[in-house]
Amino acid sequence: VVGDRQGRVGYGMGKAKEVPTAIKKGVDKAKREMIEVPMSGSTVPHAVMGRFGAGMVMIKPAQEGTGVIAGGPVRAVMESAGIKDVVTKSLGSANPTNIVKAVFQGLLQLRTPAEVAKNRGISLEDL
């Protein structure tokens, strides 16, 4: 998992005969496939549920000062993305790879209020 702590994050896996080479391949892939995460201040704009295989991750916004309440793989993604206040819960599979993929599925579902208003064809004030 790589991120700039300013709303961009990516993940990748690499395979090789030597561990350092595999890590380098994984980091390179993660940098190539980074996504932009919409944020409301230091948290996510709304609650989402990400699913991948049997792994599910619930991501909910939290008040400022709450911190990152998350398990290992989810915490790594949130901190890499720069999200400082969030509540998460991992359900189903405990496989870290599937959990990270579920988190990314959830993050891809996030929409800013401006995007929601545009999709509905109304002004941001009417939302």
List of the chain residues with pLDDT < 50? none
The per-residue pLDDT for 124 is 82
Residue 108 · residue 80 · CB < 8 Å: no
Residue 29 falls inside a structural domain: no
* Domain extent at residue 106: 38-120
* Residue 34: Cβ within 10 Å count: 18
Residue 91 falls inside a structural domain: yes
What CATH number is associated with residue 84?
3.30.230.10
Residue 85 falls inside a structural domain: yes
Residue 26 falls inside a structural domain: no
DSSP string, 65-79: T--EE--HHHHHHHH
Give the total number of structural domains in the chain.
Answer: 1
DSSP string, 84-127: -SEEEEEEE---HHHHHHHHHHHHHH---HHHHHHHHTS-TTT-
Residue 13 falls inside a structural domain: no
Phi–psi pair at 11, nearest 5 degrees: -135, 155
The per-residue pLDDT for 18 is 97
Query: Is residue 123 packed enough to be buried (19+ CB in 10 Å), middle (13-18) or exposed (0-12)?
Result: exposed
pTM equals 0.91
Residue 19 falls inside a structural domain: no
The per-residue pLDDT for 123 is 86
Residue 88 falls inside a structural domain: yes
Residue 18 falls inside a structural domain: no
